[in-house]
A and B are shown apart, each in its own frame.
With several copies, the nearest count.
Chain A
Amino acid sequence: MRFFTAKVVESQDLGGAYSWLCLEGCEALAAASPGQFAMLRGWPGHDPLLSRAFSVLSTGPGTAEFLIRRVGRGSGLLGAARPGDPIRVVGPLGRGFPVATPEVTELLVAGGCGLAPLYFAARRAQAEGRRVRLLYGARQSCELVLADVLRARGVELQTATEDGSAGERGLVTALLERELAASTAGLRVLACGPEPMLRATREVARRHGVPCFLSLESPMACGVGACLGCAIPARDRPFLYVCKDGPVFAAEEVWP
C-alpha cells in the first residue's frame, strides 16, 4: 500500500452515468491484482471529506484505469476530472480474487459498476492464457459499458438487461443458472455487483456446488484497516472488514 498523488491523463464519459478515468504516476499500483482497490480523492477543500473506494480496472506502464459510476458528489467530481487534475491515491488495497491455476475456468458475473474488478480479472486471465467467460448484466443497454471493448478483445461475453434493450431480457443470474446447468467442471464463480445480485449468485453457485467469490462494498473511511468502519456481518465471527479482510470474500464467509 502506498499513498501518492497521480494525475489524470484521460477521462471519458461512457454514457449511462459512467466515466472512464486513466491516471498516470501510478507505478505503485503496478502490482495490483484483480479485485484490489484504491481510495481516490480529487477535489479541493474538506467537503467531501473522505476518499472514495474504486476497484482497479487495469494497469499499464505507470498508469492505472478506473471505471466510475457517478452516483453522488465524490464520484461525480472524480468522473468530471479533466486531464492534468491531481488525484490523491491510496493503494493497492485489500485482498483480490484468489489466484487461479491453469485448470480453473473463471466464470465472471458482473452487475452494473461491479464490472470493474471482473474486467481486470478477464484481462488478466487472457494474459495468462486461461479461459474466461463473463456474464454481464445491467438495467438497460446504455449501462453495459465497456462490453464492446471486452468483445473486441476477445473476451467471451454474454449480456442481459432488465428491459431487454441488449442481450437477454432478465437478470444476469439467469445466465449464470443456465451456464452452471450446462456444466460445472473446473468452474469458479467470481462476482461483483449490487447486494441482491450477489446473494442470488451465491445461491445459484451453492446449488450447483461451484466455489464462489464475491467482491463486496461497504462505506469506508480509511480503506486500510484503521477505522473499523467497513464491518460486514460474517459467518464464524461477528464481523469481517471489507477493506482488509476483503473486498473479495469466499461466498460462505459472509452474510450468515
Chain B
Amino acid sequence: MSAPRMEVHAFGLRFANPVLTASGTFGYGSELAGSCPLTALGGLVTKGISLAPRAGNPEPRICETAAGMLNSIGLANVGLRAFLEEKLPFLRDCGTRVLVNFFGETEDDYLRCAEGLSGHGPGIDGLELNISCPNVKAGGLEFGVVPEVAGRLCERVRGATDLPLVVKLTPNVTDVVALARACVQGGASGLSLINTLRGMAIDARTRRPRLARVFGGLSGPAIKPVALRLVHEVARARLGVPIIGIGGIMSGEDAAEFLLAGATLVQVGTASFVRPDAAARVAEELLGYCAAQQVSDVSELTGALA
C-alpha cells in the first residue's frame, strides 16, 4: 500500500495533515519552532490576540492537577498592533497554516480585532474566534454560553472579515449543540472544541487557592473524555461545518479518536508543555496509525465511529 494521504481540506484551506497546535500553548509560533518543526504540522494557532496588549493575571497563574493543569494566564498577549508588526513577519513564511486566535471584551473589540487581522495576505490563513471570554457589557457573563449572544457575535464578526472563521466553544455549558448551531447559523466556517473546563485548586496547607484568580481552565489528558463527548455530540448534530477536536491529545491514537468522533482537524495543547515536539510527534504517530490500520486517506476517519 502506498503511504496514507494525510492532507485535509477544511474552510477552503488545504492542511498538510490534520494536526495543529492549540492557542496559548505554542506562543506565536517561533518559541517552539526549534524543537517542533513547523513543516511537520498541519498548522498552528497563535496565542489569543486582543485589540490592546494585555499583561495578564497576577501570579501564580498555573498549577498541576491529576493528569492535567489549571491556567489563568488571563489572556496575556502583545496586542493587535505588536502582533502584526513583530509576530506576523515570522508567520508569513513559516511553512505551515496559521490560524490567529482572537477575543475581545465587547462586541466592538471583537469586530475591530477581526478587521485588523484581515487583509494582510499570507501569514494569516484564518481566524479562530474565542468566545469563552467574559462579556464586559453583559456583566461578565461569557459571550459563549447563551446561543443568541454567541450567534449574534459570530454574525457580526463574519461581516467584518473575509477570512475563514472558526469559532472556539467553551465546554462549560448544558447544551453545546445549541451553541454550536447558533454559531453556524451566525456564519461560522468551522467549530473548535473544547476550550478548557472551569476548575480550581486549593493548597490545603496554606488554605489558599493555588491560582491568584481562584478559578482557572483545566486542560490535559484529564479532560479528553469530556472533549471527545462534546465533539461527538456536535458531530452527530450534522451542522455542516468541519470540527477541530481539542482536549488532552498526547498521541497519534488520541488524535485518531477525535477524528473518529467526528473531527476533521485536531489541536494539540498542553502536550506541547510536556514535550516541545508533541504536535509534530502526534502528526507522525497519526501517519503511523493510518498506515497500520490501512487507512489510505486520513479524512476517511472523520466520523467513522463504528
A–B touch (CB < 8 A): the answer is yes
Kindly state whether residue A50 has any CB partner on chain B within 8 Å. Answer: yes
Chain A positions 119 through 149: 1 when the CB is less than 8 Å from some CB of chain B, otherwise 0: 0000000000000000000000000000000
Task: Please name all residues of chain A whose beta carbon is closer than 8 Å to the beta carbon of B65 when the two chains form the complex.
Answer: 49
Q: Are A229 and B221 in contact (CB under 8 A)?
A: no
Task: Please name all residues of chain A whose beta carbon is closer than 8 Å to the beta carbon of B32 when the two chains form the complex.
Answer: 224, 226
Q: Are B69 and A50 in contact (CB under 8 A)?
A: yes
Q: Are A231 and B56 in contact (CB under 8 A)?
A: yes
Chain B positions 81 through 119: 1 when the CB is less than 8 Å from some CB of chain A, otherwise 0: 000000000000000000000000000000000000000
Q: From residue A122, how far is it (CB to closest CB) to chain B in Å?
A: 31
Q: Are A218 and B35 in contact (CB under 8 A)?
A: no
- The residue on B at minimum CB distance from A244 is B31
Task: Please name all residues of chain B whose beta carbon is closer than 8 Å to the beta carbon of A225 when the two chains form the complex.
Answer: 27, 31
Task: Please name all residues of chain A whose beta carbon is closer than 8 Å to the beta carbon of B47 when the two chains form the complex.
Answer: 228
A226–B56 alpha-carbon span in the complex (Å): 14
Q: Are A221 and B69 in contact (CB under 8 A)?
A: yes
Other-chain residue from B25, B27, B59, B273 in contact with A50 (beta carbon distance below 8 A)? B273
Task: Please name all residues of chain B whose beta carbon is closer than 8 Å to the beta carbon of A77 when the two chains form the complex.
Answer: none
With A3-B275, A50-B69, A88-B275 as contacts: A219 and B31 at CB distance below 8 Å: no
Task: Please name all residues of chain B whose beta carbon is closer than 8 Å to the beta carbon of A48 when the two chains form the complex.
Answer: 64
- The residue on B at minimum CB distance from A88 is B275
With A219-B63, A226-B27 as contacts: A50 and B276 at CB distance below 8 Å: no
Q: From residue B247, how far is it (CB to closest CB) to chain A in Å?
A: 13
Task: Please name all residues of chain B whose beta carbon is closer than 8 Å to the beta carbon of A222 when the two chains form the complex.
Answer: 25, 272-273, 276
Task: Please name all residues of chain A whose beta carbon is closer than 8 Å to the beta carbon of B250 when the two chains form the complex.
Answer: 46
Task: Please name all residues of chain A whose beta carbon is closer than 8 Å to the beta carbon of B76 when the two chains form the complex.
Answer: 228, 231, 239
With A221-B273, A222-B273, A233-B59 as contacts: A228 and B73 at CB distance below 8 Å: yes
Q: Are A46 and B63 in contact (CB under 8 A)?
A: no
A90–B278 alpha-carbon span in the complex (Å): 13
Chain B residues 234 to 275 lying within 8 A of chain A, measured CB to CB, are 250, 270, 272-275
Q: Are A1 and B34 in contact (CB under 8 A)?
A: yes
Kindly state whether residue A2 has any CB partner on chain B within 8 Å. Answer: yes
A49–B156 alpha-carbon span in the complex (Å): 40
Chain A residues 1 to 59 lying within 8 A of chain B, measured CB to CB, are 1-3, 41, 45-51
Task: Please name all residues of chain B whose beta carbon is closer than 8 Å to the beta carbon of A229 when the two chains form the complex.
Answer: 61-62, 71, 73
Q: Are B59 and A232 in contact (CB under 8 A)?
A: yes
A45–B62 alpha-carbon span in the complex (Å): 20
Q: Are B276 and A3 in contact (CB under 8 A)?
A: yes
Task: Please name all residues of chain A whose beta carbon is closer than 8 Å to the beta carbon of B274 when the two chains form the complex.
Answer: 41, 49-51
Other-chain residue from A41, A49, A227 in contact with B221 (beta carbon distance below 8 A)? A49
Q: From residue B220, how far is it (CB to closest CB) to chain A in Å?
A: 6
Kindly state whether residue A196 has any CB partner on chain B within 8 Å. Answer: no
Q: Specify which of A219, A220, A225 lies most central, judged by the most chain B CB atoms within 10 Å of its CB.
A: A219
Name the prevailing secondary structure of the A interface residues: loop
Q: Are A231 and B59 in contact (CB under 8 A)?
A: yes
Other-chain residue from A41, A51, A221 in contact with B62 (beta carbon distance below 8 A)? A221
Kindly state whether residue A238 has any CB partner on chain B within 8 Å. Answer: yes
Name the prevailing secondary structure of the B interface residues: loop
- The residue on B at minimum CB distance from A239 is B55
Q: Are A219 and B66 in contact (CB under 8 A)?
A: no
Q: From residue B116, how far is it (CB to closest CB) to chain A in Å?
A: 22
A224–B162 alpha-carbon span in the complex (Å): 34
Kindly state whether residue B209 has any CB partner on chain A within 8 Å. Answer: no
Q: From residue B241, how far is it (CB to closest CB) to chain A in Å?
A: 29
- The residue on A at minimum CB distance from B32 is A226
Task: Please name all residues of chain A whose beta carbon is closer than 8 Å to the beta carbon of B303 when the two chains form the complex.
Answer: none
Q: From residue B57, how far is it (CB to closest CB) to chain A in Å?
A: 8
Q: Are A3 and B220 in contact (CB under 8 A)?
A: no
Kindly state whether residue B155 has any CB partner on chain A within 8 Å. Answer: no
Kindly state whether residue B147 has any CB partner on chain A within 8 Å. Answer: no
Task: Please name all residues of chain B whose beta carbon is closer than 8 Å to the beta carbon of A219 when the two chains form the complex.
Answer: 60-64
Q: Are B67 and A46 in contact (CB under 8 A)?
A: yes
Q: From residue B11, how far is it (CB to closest CB) to chain A in Å?
A: 25
Kindly state whether residue B4 has any CB partner on chain A within 8 Å. Answer: no
Kindly state whether residue B68 has any CB partner on chain A within 8 Å. Answer: yes
Q: Are B66 and A227 in contact (CB under 8 A)?
A: no
Other-chain residue from B26, B62, B220 in contact with A46 (beta carbon distance below 8 A)? B220
Q: From residue A90, how far is it (CB to closest CB) to chain B in Å?
A: 6
Task: Please name all residues of chain A whose beta carbon is closer than 8 Å to the beta carbon of B61 when the two chains form the complex.
Answer: 219, 228-231
Supplied contacts A1-B276, A218-B59, A227-B62, 13 more A-B pairs, CB within 8 Å: A3-B35, A3-B276, A41-B274, A47-B67, A49-B68, A50-B64, A50-B69, A88-B275, A219-B63, A226-B25, A228-B56, A229-B61, A239-B76
Closest 3 CB pairs of A and B: A238-B55, A229-B62, A46-B67
24 interchain pairs (CB within 8 A)? A1-B35, A46-B220, A47-B221, A49-B270, A50-B64, A51-B274, A90-B35, A90-B275, A218-B60, A219-B61, A219-B63, A220-B62, A221-B62, A221-B69, A222-B276, A224-B276, A227-B273, A228-B61, A229-B71, A230-B61, A231-B61, A232-B59, A233-B58, A238-B56
Residues of chain B touching chain A, judged by Cβ–Cβ distance below 8 Å, are: 24-27, 31-32, 34-35, 47, 55-56, 58-69, 71, 73, 76, 220-222, 250, 270, 272-277
